[in-house]
Structure 1
Amino acid sequence: MRVSSSRPPLWFWIGISCVWVFALAFRFWGLERFNTLVFDEVYFAKFGHNYLTQTEFFDAHPPLGKYIIALGIALKGFNTWGFRWMNALIGATIPLILSGIAYQLCKRPSYALITAVLASLDGLLLVESRYALLNVHILFFGLLAHWSVLISLNHQGHQRNGWLAAAGASFGATIAVKWNGLGFLLGLYLLWLVAKAGQAWFGSSDSPKRRLPIQRLSELSWLQLFVYLPGIALFIYSIFWIPHLAQNPDFNLWQVHKEIFGYHRQVGGDEVHPYCSAWYTWPLLLKPISYFYQVTQSTLEPLPVTGPPLPQNAVKWIYSVYAIGNPLLWWASTIAILALLVWGGWQIWHSIAQRHQEDHDAANLSGEQVWLPCYIGVNYLANFLPWVGVSRCTFLYHYMPASMFTSLALAWYIDGWLRASDRWMRQLAMALLLLSLVSFIICLPIFLGLPISPMIWRILRVRG
């Protein structure tokens, strides 16, 4: 397979610009319409403000996400716009970063653009980007780290080390938002082990210029991957704690980690929060999270955010925000990642079988058909399977890092179908894109909190 080294064409840049404008528009429109703290904003927005007022507090997560919220408050004030706009801006860039990863995986602009389109239609990512929450920051820095690693594999010497340093800093930043950012780093290490094993067992018939960036992972040394990169990550992670510890001197760095770990061990199960959900429900979108719910008798009334609820028989309009994925896109992405895992496993098994038969040409593990599914599948499992052993209350948004790789999987299939000679496959790809957009539009009322009737609300929401 020939790997293109040229830059993306003009149509790609026009398309990606349109995606960014689309993402920005839906994240910033009506950002301050709910003049109240929504869901965990009661913690994170206040914690961000505490940094500006030098108020002592305990937080169950590392501090970086609240620093970013504090920056937004410092620039725009402690109001709904002030503590939300930084999240909206960062959330709008995530489809672009995911597109950059897609391009680095196979150097195909069409695949990168489709990935960005699908990410921009992700309802859960949209909702999380519109409030002062932490999950978009995990995605931003974790995906940025992977993008930097993939770019580094196109270079040698000091340039490669420079990009690896950027990746290390991004890994440190994602862990400094929440500890589950470690899944992105775990995915990189597992991929490196797979690349090393593949090189030792099968070798490669591709010349260095024809190899995909992900195939070059085995070129990274033990020193680069296990000393240089994590050393930078640990340094950046530690630096982010300095302002927090200076303001909250009751605990040192070791003690505050013990306190955080103890807190998460004590977080209970379903009886603690009505929207707790088990890990196996996430790929099927069985239990979304209600972030806001209020009722009113007229759309002309001021949007109610305080006071007792109206009698149910008086309800005419409902304002509701659900942290829920775009249903059709979500389920299609789940099918895509399962199909990709099966396909990748079969490819590896087939190559091993050929190896045992000493058919070295057939056994060569090279090219996009093996390495791209390997990259997506390993990263998906690294960000998803660790939750299997977690006993504390978990939520749908804990699946978001893994869901980024399901988008890459679905985009890979759609891009392949669009380039296929079979007309039915091309039509299927176009139908999936169109229906994903339709599903997004239908669900906009519960993504953005638009006024809807009780009947429409019952149709759109997904019961947990």
Structure 2
Amino acid sequence: MRLNLDTASNQKLASWGIVIVCIGSIALRFWGLGRFNVFVFDEVYYAKFANNYLTNTKFFNSHPPLSQYLIAIGIWIGDRLPIGQDTTNTLTGSLHSTFSYRWMNAFFGSLIPPLVAALAYQLNRRMSYAFLAALFISLDGLFLIESRYALNNIYLVFFGLLGQLLVLMASDRDRTHRLALCIGAGSSFGASAACKWNGLWFLLGIYILIAIAKIWQIVRAKRQTPTITNSLLERLATIRIVEVIVYLFILPIVIYSLLWIPHLIQNPTPNFIEVQWAILTYHEKVGNGAAIHPYCANWYTWPLLMRPLAYYFKQYKPDYYYDVHAMGNPVLWWLALVAIFAAIWLLVKAIATTSVREKNLEWTSVPLFMVINYAANLLPWVKVTRCLYIYHYMGAVLFAIMGLAWFVDVWLRSGSRLWQVVGLTTIFSVAGSFVFWLPIFLGLSIEKSDLSLRLWDFWIFRWI
């Protein structure tokens, strides 16, 4: 029996589902932010750097400054709130509550699921797909963990996703605010790079997709095939080259440069050009391997969760621990990887077809978007020789997860009871996996034997 997920009642149900998912994401991210009154992992850098801006202390940072600005704003606001003041410390160099330097991450992390839902909806206008995409990303452990501590990866993902969403909105030829959307997109990409340089991989994905759309436009014109209104490639093909140059090339550079001004006023040396070179040379000098850091993980180990990263570990009584491990939801990540390979197969099959029909183009638009962005966010790491960590996979796995959500939506819409069962089984398996690993996502009290079951580096990949 084919499920009709596009009826008004089901669309409304999906909308309410997104609201519930977002509320749950907020609750998980804000719950117990001050539980560990110590620095967790790289908070030793980012929380300190944020406080340096508030105390006008000169310092060098090996990354651009935007995420530290945002954390600093969070500290300033958090110190004036009547909540979260039960745990304080002077680890940053000043007396602050742990809530004050973590809540901004929780806020931006809470925005990721609705942002993913909006991006998914822009791809095929299906609320059911938007709901599944938001649900799956809310059930990922790494995105949850990165949202609960004063780290910088969640910011570059937020701004990168926002940039892509605004590009798709601007490409809708029925919209009247194209200029504002283009400016917003370019500014978002510049902001993503101003958190970390790899934020530019989101822009790289858009470049490649627009290039493919332009090529397809030429091919379609030569074949005189009809246009499908609002198909992804047809929409992206409406973005003019001048708009790409002005709003997606020049503007991100301008925004990136402007965001350095507060840092350079406080730290005039090295100057703007010198500090870019200093950042580059710093990362080039970072080595690789266990001698550099015990949790270094090469790029090809990330999708299989072969080397999760310990953020916090403490034994508080015999055989009981608090442990926060930076790792994804295993079932979600593994199925998402399968989804990427399945999407690649669909694209290869479509290209190999002697006559590429327009309905094939429309049906493969979402897989194309996911594969291109997955590759754009993963493959640049292949040539990087410095020590890398599993959190560098966040930009890529995001699109793999959205790809899995698309396949599940297709299965639920199919007339096959078997595929509908597969889709529902996938949803419940991902949810069950999230619940099973939740103790080490949130750092809950856990007994030694239960902890061992949840640490992949001590389990099936121990021999590697």
Matches within 5 A, 1:84-233: 84-155=102-173, 159-203=177-221, 205-207=225-227, 210-233=229-252
Q: What is the CA-CA distance between 1:240 and the residue it aligns to? A: 0.7
Paired letter, 2:400? T
| Structure 1 residue 10 displacement after superposition | 2.7
Q: Distance in 2 between matches of 1:155 and 1:199?
A: 15
Q: Which residue in 1 is equivalent to 2:277?
A: 258
CA distance in 1, matches of 2:358, 2:433: 41
Q: Which blocks of at least 5 consecutive residues in structure 2 are unaligned?
A: 1-5, 80-95
2:304 to 270, 276, 284: 284
Post-superposition offset of 1:374: 1.1
Shift of 1:249: 1.3
Once the two structures are superposed, residues 145-167 of structure 1 have per-residue CA deviations (whole angstroms, 9 ceiling, x without a partner) of 00001111113686212211110
Q: CA deviation at 1:449?
A: 0.6
Equivalent of 2:345 in 342, 346, 349? 342
Aligned to 1:462: 456
Structure 1 runs (4+) deviating above 6 angstroms are none
Aligned-pair distance for 1:435?
1.1
Corresponding residue for residue 57 of structure 2: 55
Amino acid at match of 1:328: V
Secondary structure at the counterpart of residue 452 of structure 1? strand
Within 2, Cα distance between the matches of 1:141 and 1:392? Answer: 25
Structure 2: which amino acid aligns with 1:449? G
Q: What is the letter of the counterpart of residue 337 of structure 1? A: I
Letter in 1 for 2:20: C
Partners of 1:146 and 1:206 lie apart in 2 by 27
How many residues matched? Answer: 433
The answer to whether the Cα contact below 8 Å between 1:198 and 1:365 also exists between their aligned partners in 2 is no
Report the Cα distance in structure 1 between the residues aligned to 2:109 and 2:362, rounded to whole angstroms: 29
Give the Å deviation of 1:364: 4.2
Give the CA deviation at 1:349: 2.3
- CA–CA distance in structure 2, aligned partners of residues 8 and 168 of structure 1: 35
Matched with 1:37 is: 39
Distance 1:116 1:36, change over 3 A: same
1:196, distance to aligned residue in structure 2 (A): 1.1
Alpha-carbon offset, residue 12 of structure 1: 2.8
Aligned to 2:93: none
- Aligned CA-pair RMSD: 1.8
Q: Give me the whole-angstrom Cα distance separating, in 1, the residues matched to 2:174 and 2:252.
A: 21
What's the counterpart of residue 243 of structure 1? 262
Q: 1:182 to 1:392 in 2, by over 3 A?
A: same
Distance in 2 of aligned mates of 1:366 and 1:215: 13
Question: How big is each residue's C-alpha offset from its partner over 1:241-300, in whole Å with a ceiling of 9 and x where there is no partner?
Answer: 000001011111000001000100011101201111000011111111000000022xxx
Can you list the C-alpha shifts for 1:107-133, whole angstroms capped at 9, x where unaligned? 011001000000100111001100000
Q: Which amino acid aligns with 1:330?
A: W
Q: Is the 8 A contact 1:202 1:364 kept in 2?
A: no
The 3-state SS of whatever aligns with 1:66 is: helix
Q: 1:21 to 1:161 in 2, by over 3 A?
A: same
With the length of structure 2 as denominator, give the TM-score of the two structures: 0.90
Q: TM-score under structure 1 normalisation? A: 0.90
Residue 366 of structure 1: how far off its partner (Å): 5.5
1:300 counterpart residue number: none
Q: Distance in 2 between matches of 1:401 and 1:124?
A: 11
Aligned partners of 2:15 and 2:127 also within 8 Å: no
1:404 to 395, 398, 403: 398
* 1:358-395 C-alpha deviation (Å, 9 max, x unpaired): xxxx4447643222211111111011100001011111
Partner deviation per Cα, 1:133-183 (whole Å, 9 max, x = no partner): 011001100000000011111136862122111100100100000000010
Matched, 1:321 2:285: no
Q: Aligned partners of 1:113 and 1:364: how far apart in 2?
A: 27
Preserved contact between residue 11 and residue 128 of structure 2 (Cα < 8 Å): no
Structure 2 residue identity aligned to 1:117 = L
SS at match of 2:293: coil
> Quick one: structure 1 residues 435 and 7, their matched pair in 2 at CA, closer, same or farther if it must change by over 3 Å?
closer
Return the letter of the residue paired with 2:279. I
Question: How far did 1:7 drift?
Answer: 12
SS at match of 1:34: coil
Shift of 1:79: 2.1
Q: CA deviation at 1:92?
A: 1.0
Contact 1:211 1:367 in 2 (8 A): no
For residues 70 and 197 of structure 1, the distance between their equivalents in structure 2, rounded to whole angstroms, comes to: 45
SS in 1 for 2:328: coil
